[in-house]
Chains A and B, each alone.
Chain A
Amino acid sequence: MMNEQRREFIKKTALGVFAGLGVASGLVPAFSLEKTALPVWDEKPVPGKIRWGMVIDTRQCKEGCQQCVTACHHEHNVPAFKNRKEEIRWIWKNSYKNVFPTATNSAVSKEIQNRSFLSLCNHCADSPCTQICPTGATFKRWDGIVEIDYHRCVGCRFCIPACPYGSLSFNWQDPRTAIVDPVTAYPTREQGVVEKCNFCSDRLVKGLLPACVDACPEQAFTFGDMNDPVSDIRVVLESNVTMQRKPELGTKPSVFYII
């Protein structure tokens, strides 16, 4: 069963490789790598066919643990500015009150009030950030991931207040001075552009799970294709009561929380 899952996962993520290489190999489809009949590349990316999603079981999330945050920020060369004004975050720990400010249950237990809740981009199906961006630098991919083109962004920052979750960070100064241990597998950014969680699209193309998911010692995350009725994430979603952040805004987040 798990092997099946894994194979399915690799197959889907490899579509990303195909898409990337297809573009890289030229605009004429006949000459693209599409012809390379590797079994995992036998499908075209159909918009809306796949929708990546994440479930976070907050009961498993341990106080003081920062492994997912560290893994993500290291993997993506996220600068470590300490002052709050210029901080850049892809994923971070937050309080119940800040993550679910509009949740209706009035009396939450002490334990929940003290529990950590991870904040990251929700890869909304109806994403206000992509709608407001004048250049399409923040855009939605065929698999539901909301991605930023760092070379197109003009740094107007309209996307920042457009996002109801504070998911986007702006590079107020050159981020390269504050990258602790740079990696070469992912680009660094320049001063003056926005950035945020990319659902590890860079890892998905390699058939890997997102860095945070991999790094969590408590297996608090479930990641997968929500459109696939037999995927892990569907099983988890169907067998648990979950919450989305500010669902009343109609942004349709792809990140779910088990409380």
Chain B
Amino acid sequence: MIEKALKGNRSYWIWIVFLVTLVASGLSAYYQQRWFGLTVTGMGREASFGIYTAQLTFLLGVAASAVMVVFSFSLRRQKELAKTVIIALFMAVSAALMSMLFVVADMGKPDRVLNIIFFPNPRSLVFWDLLLLSGYLATSLISGWAMLGAEHKGVPPSAWVTSVMYLSIPLAFGIATISAVLYAGLPGINLWLTAVLAIRFIASALAAGMALLILVTLMLKETTGFDAGKEAREKLAMVATYAGIANVLLLGVQFITTTYSNLPWMWFSLIIGVVSVTILLLPALRKSQLLFVGACTALVLSVWVDKSAGLMIGGELVPAPLGSIVAYAPTSTELFVVVGIWSLGTMLFTALLKVVVAVKVDNEG
């Protein structure tokens, strides 16, 4: 089946070459970081987390949220999601892979990454998060690929495939819960030390993940003609809307109870978040394709800004352990690495989707 990813039209290949170029520039930036150390980043004594961790937080949420589709389709028997399940699984695969790459990119000693497996500390939430993430990556990839294979042959997926897919559900819930508790429980950073943050992690992940999935299905419809269906998008939009509402409400609470209101980027996140859920909530506005796409994009952006500027960078702007304020700004090296990893993930997602579409087109035609 994989050979289907190698057959594409001109624009497909232009897109792939474009991504390969970005991956290459990311690699060269990463090589510089490996050589000189993390000194080439904007991180330092009092901003020990930066844009890598921000991407990790965002992508962990996106990866875990994709399981919502699997859950609704397989356990709640929402048949209209049938065409979206594999897309969601592959989105989870790509996001989980990128999360792992961001973990490694942020490490001072990436060559020792296997120490986490050789010398696990069972009391460590970081260890469990990474373990579940690897498991989730595997189950999503295996079940997604096997389901697609079955479809290719025109047979229903075998029982083991469904079991593997079911397994990804608790794994995703585990990732969401552990990550939320992990970030909310770091005593060195006062701003994060709140239970609201844990709940908001899950709400914002669902909102951004579902909105992103909607955008992906629309993009597929535009570029390949393969349509996951309007009903599916309606379902996803509903989840995104309710999760988005919960998120902006809780974010509002944090504006009142913490120093978030001092951070311009957090205002930006809050405002576009409110605007996007308002559009999604009102049928009159949502009917317009342009506004619908705009609202989904804004929702994703709102969460991404919140994770990057608010949770990570903003968290560190506020008196860190030593009680002094140090601003963090990523360097160009960091930005190249970030773009490189995103491009690699996007490339994988594109290739997987290419196979999905080819199989579906084969079967329909």
Which residues does chain B contribute within 8 Å of A169, judged by CB atoms?
A: 45
Flag if B44 contacts A161 (CB, 8 Å): no
Give the contact stretch, choosing among A22-30, A126-134, A199-207: A126-134
Interface string of B101-139 (1 = CB under 8 A from A): 001001111101101100111011111001000000000
Query: Quick one: given A133-B121, A172-B39, are A86 and B44 in contact (CB under 8 Å)?
Result: yes
Interface string of A166-192 (1 = CB under 8 A from B): 100111111000000000000000111
Query: Quick one: given A152-B119, A155-B109, A191-B108, are A160 and B187 in contact (CB under 8 Å)?
Result: no
Closest Cβ neighbor of B36 among chain A residues: A173
Q: How many residues of A contact B (CB 8 A)?
A: 42
Which residues does chain B contribute within 8 Å of A154, judged by CB atoms?
A: 107-110, 112-113, 115-116
Which residues does chain B contribute within 8 Å of A135, judged by CB atoms?
A: 115-116, 119-121, 127
B49 interfacial by beta-carbon distance below 8 Å: yes
Flag if A131 contacts B39 (CB, 8 Å): no
Flag if B119 contacts A84 (CB, 8 Å): no
Flag if B44 contacts A85 (CB, 8 Å): yes
Main secondary structure of the interface of A (DSSP, over half): loop
Which residues does chain A contribute within 8 Å of B124, judged by CB atoms?
A: 131-134, 136
Closest Cβ neighbor of A119 among chain B residues: B322
A49 interfacial by beta-carbon distance below 8 Å: no
Which residues does chain A contribute within 8 Å of B123, judged by CB atoms?
A: 131
Which residues does chain B contribute within 8 Å of A131, judged by CB atoms?
A: 123-124
Flag if B187 contacts A157 (CB, 8 Å): no
Query: Quick one: given A154-B108, A161-B188, are A174 and B125 in contact (CB under 8 Å)?
Result: no
Q: B45, B49, B182 — which one has the most chain A CB atoms within 10 A of its CB?
A: B45
Closest Cβ neighbor of A158 among chain B residues: B126
List of 4 A-B pairs having minimum Cβ-Cβ separation, nearest first: A155-B108, A192-B108, A166-B321, A85-B44
- B residues near A, CB below 8 A? 36-39, 43-46, 48-49, 103, 106-110, 112-113, 115-116, 119-121, 123-127, 130, 182, 186-189, 320-324, 326
23 A-B residue pairs with Cβ-Cβ distance under 8 Å, sorted by A, are A85-B45, A132-B125, A132-B182, A132-B186, A134-B124, A134-B130, A135-B121, A153-B112, A154-B108, A154-B113, A154-B115, A154-B116, A155-B38, A155-B110, A156-B126, A161-B187, A163-B187, A163-B321, A172-B37, A172-B38, A173-B37, A192-B38, A192-B107
Q: A84-B45, A154-B109, A192-B108 are in contact. List 15 more A-B contacts (CB 8 A).
A: A84-B326, A85-B45, A86-B44, A94-B322, A97-B323, A132-B124, A133-B124, A134-B121, A135-B116, A135-B127, A155-B107, A157-B48, A163-B187, A171-B108, A172-B39
